[in-house]
Amino acid sequence: MPDNIVAGGVSVDTRHWIGGRRVASSETFTDVSPIDGGTIGEISRGTALEAAAAVAAAKAAFPAWAATSRAERARILHAIADGVEKRIEELSIVETTDNGALLRSHRRGVIPRVAHNFRFFADWLLKLEHEDFETRGHTNHVSWDPAGPSVLITPWNAPLMLATWKVAPALAAGNTVVLKPAEWSPLTASLLADIAAEAGLPAGVLNVIQGYGSEIGDALTSHPDVRRISFTGSVPTAKRIAESAAGNLTPLSLELGGKSPLLVFADADLDLAVDLAVEQYDNAGQVCLAATRFLVEESVAEEFTRRFVEKAARLTQGDPRDETTDIGPNIHPRQLEKIDAFVQRALAAGARAVIGGHRKDTQYYAPTLLTDVAQDSEIVQEEVFGPVLTLQTFSTEEEAVRLANDTRFGLAATLATGDAERAERVTEQLVAGTVWVNCFFVRDLQAPFGGSRHSGVGREGGTWSFDFYCDVKNTVTAPNGGKNHG
Ligand code: NAD
């Protein structure tokens, strides 16, 4: 098998990156193009052996990296950000080739944010502090000690963005990392290893291991030398990881799925509400935060639906490399089958497709809006992770809140209302890690990010990330250093 493949004109190493060296497995798996279903290339298919080697490399590199000054760690993180910025074009085309999300979004938003992830946590590290405080004359001093080797497991819907959201704070905190990207989008993690090495990150501080989660996941998550596990992905995988980590009580951060509502009140600016609604087709609906359940006040539901259908009809679907495309392909034929199965079951149960309701071809699913759906139906309760939205109506604020909260998830909620007091009242009652009022997807790394209920455990962002990746310590010193004793 060749060690490199060419994706979107860019050469990418298909092997693992362990202890500062490229390591191949004897077997491979096929990376499939979401754009045309063809083969992008063969990737090293990791085994428990390579997983153990990656953890060993992270363990060996930990003492020196943990002892590296904050200023030096921050300098290297900024150098990684510089490397990302120099390669925005290459990273964008490789990511689009691999996961099918829009090239223009990668170029203008997503990949620049990858660089920002490193800069943000480098800067945050340098100002991380907690004011000392006194207890009966004793001084309390809070500090953050690096926790140790961290396993970071990521999904395919925003591969490099979500990976670096974990890699950057873990490295900033002084931890070493084993990154396991999703098997449907393995390529940009390999490029990140190159960029980090060029930036001067010492060997073994960042390791990348490729392969199927079902084959190497347990070897990583049950390893006694792993001190933190951060996972973004689906609920069933999270449960599996939690079981595997339980033997060592390894602390977990879990960012999981959602079934978030968009609540549209009659007092809302309806054009704004429709704009927010149509945005939910972004990334072909493969967005954890997507507001996939429209809850619309009865009196404006007909007009809202009319304007939504009109606007959705103007969206163009096609090749994600084309500047004019709004909706690209779904990641994999298996994902399309899953999406279609959800929709066909909903239609069979009595739902009506206002638009869509079918596949377009082998790579694309028609943007879909379903009505006449029962609150307890599968299509309202379960995450589809495709361009499939539902619409229900409500007649009172209480009913809106009840419907919004009535799933097992609690990742996000979006509100469209012209009444600030209502916004405050409703927000207080919503079960969600993030609430957007008259806006969507505005995110700042200082803010806590995460989900309630089955949408996750823990929060990422700013201090919350450092609290997770560190052993937070409180040192209590006697008055006058203890010199007055006796
Ligand atoms: P997934 O759970 O199938 O896979 C995620 C990762 O877990 C992959 O790298 C996979 O290889 C790995 N994995 C699989 N089995 C494993 C095991 N037994 N042990 C360890 N690792 C294992 O999820 P997916 O289909 O890649 O991603 C889609 C899901 O991710 C959706 O549910 C979506 O909502 C969620 N997601 C959540 C957020 C968030 O921040 N809350 C962001 C993006 C995606």
The alpha carbon of 168 and the centre of ligand 1 are apart by a number of angstroms equal to 19
Average pLDDT, the chain: 97
pLDDT of residue 2: 78
Determine whether the shortest distance from the Cβ of 409 to ligand 1 is under 6 A. no
pLDDT tens across 198-215, in order? 999 999 999 999 999 999
Given the CA of residue 180, which atom of ligand 1 is nearest to it?
9
- Residue closest by Cα to atom 15 of ligand 1: 213
Q: What span, in angstroms and rounded, lies between the C-alpha atoms of 166 and 232?
A: 10
Pocket of ligand 1 contains residue 458 by CB under 6 Å: no
Residues 123 and 272 both lie in one domain: no
For the stretch 251-286, pLDDT in tens is 999 999 999 999 999 999 999 999 999 999 999 999
Among 45, 151, 157, 162, name the best residue to mutate to test ligand 1's pocket (greatest count of ligand atoms within 8 A of Cβ). Answer: 157
Q: How far is residue 395 from each of residues 266, 370, 392, 438, measured CA to CA in Å? A: 10, 19, 10, 20
For the segment 17-46, what is each residue's pLDDT rounded down to a tens digit?
A: 999 999 999 999 999 999 999 999 999 999
Please identify, by atom number, the ligand 1 atom nearest to the C-alpha of residue 288. 34
Q: For residue 485, is it within any domain?
A: no
Which helix (H) or strand (E) is 413 found in, with range? Answer: strand 412-416
The whole-angstrom separation of Cα 281 and Cα 361 is 17
pLDDT in tens, 449-479: 999 999 999 999 999 999 999 999 999 999 9
CATH number assigned to the domain comprising residue 383: 3.40.309.10
Catalytic pick among 50, 90, 183, 255: 255
Residue with tokens 């309630």: 452
- Same domain? For 228 and 345 the reply is no
Q: Determine contact, residues 391/296, Cβ cutoff 8 Å.
A: yes
Give the distance, in angstroms, between the CA of residue 76 and the centroid of all CA atoms in the same chain.
Answer: 24
Tokens, residue 344: 């066909």
Q: Is 233 in the pocket of ligand 1 (CB under 6 A)?
A: yes
For the chain, the first-to-last Cα distance in angstroms comes to 74
Domain that holds residue 68: 4-256+451-474
The answer, yes or no, to whether any atom of ligand 1 lies below 6 A from the CB of 214, is yes
CB atoms within 10 A of CB 133: 11
In the block, which residue shows the tokens 């495309």? 325
Q: What pairing do the DSSP bridges indicate for beta strands 368-371 and 252-255?
A: unpaired
- Give the whole-angstrom CA distance, residue 387 versus residue 284: 5
Examine the domain organization and report whether 398 and 251 are in the same domain: no
Distance 210 CA to ligand 1 centre (A): 14
Gap between the Cα atoms of 388 and 368, Å rounded? 5
Distance CA 104, CA 325 (A): 9
pTM of the model: 0.97
Cβ of 443 closer than 6 Å to ligand 1, yes or no, is no
Question: Residue 486 above 90 pLDDT?
Answer: no
Residues 220 and 280 in one domain: no
| 439 a catalytic residue | no
Q: Which residue CA neighbors atom 19 of ligand 1 most closely?
A: 217
44 C-alpha to center of ligand 1: Å?
19
Dump pLDDT digits (tens) for 386-397: 999 999 999 999
In a domain, 237, yes or no: yes
In a domain, 381, yes or no: yes
**Alpha carbon of 103 to ligand 1 centroid (Å):** 22
316 Cα: distance to centroid of ligand 1 (angstroms):
28
User: Is 470 known to be catalytic?
Assistant: no
Q: How far apart are alpha carbons 205 and 148 in whole angstroms?
A: 11
Number of folded domains that form the chain: 2
How many residues make up the chain in this entry? 486
Let me know whether 156 and 289 are in one domain: no
Do residue 356 and residue 248 come from a single domain?
A: no
> Is any atom of ligand 1 closer than 6 Å to the C-beta of 288?
yes
**Which of 470-483 are b and which e, b meaning 16 or more Cβ less than 10 Å from the residue's Cβ?**
beeeeeeeeeeeee
